[in-house]
Amino acid sequence: MPLQIRGLIEGFYGEPLSEAELRVLTLFAAGRSVSEVARELFLAPTTVKTHRRTIYRKLGVTNRQEAIARAAELSLT
């Protein structure tokens, strides 16, 4: 793994998710789309996308499947 990527993952892995991020992640794990999450949580889709980006950064992942798998490993969902 390139040093730059490893440092990014090590730098953020373990940083706690906020309550809002956990709610979004839980709905993603349930198969909801960005639009569905936004409607269910009364948020703008751009806010959900921002939460998604932060979740990925904190978990050191690059996509939804990796985020769901990492969350399961860490017993977050």
Residue 3: predicted pLDDT: 41
Delineate the domains of the chain, giving CATH numbers in brackets.
3-73 (1.10.10.10)
The answer on pLDDT for 1 being more than 50 is no
Residue 2: predicted pLDDT: 44
Residue 37 to residue 73: CA distance in whole angstroms: 22
Task: Give the tens place of pLDDT for each residue, 11-42.
Answer: 455 678 999 999 999 999 999 999 999 999 99
The answer on pLDDT for 7 being more than 50 is no
State whether residue 77 is helix, strand or coil: coil
Residue 66 to residue 36: CA distance in whole angstroms: 20
Which residues lie below 8 Å from residue 58, measured CB to CB, with a gap of 6+?
A: 12, 13, 15, 16, 17, 21
Residue 76: predicted pLDDT: 81
According to DSSP H, which parts of the chain are helical? 3-12, 19-29, 34-41, 45-59, 64-73
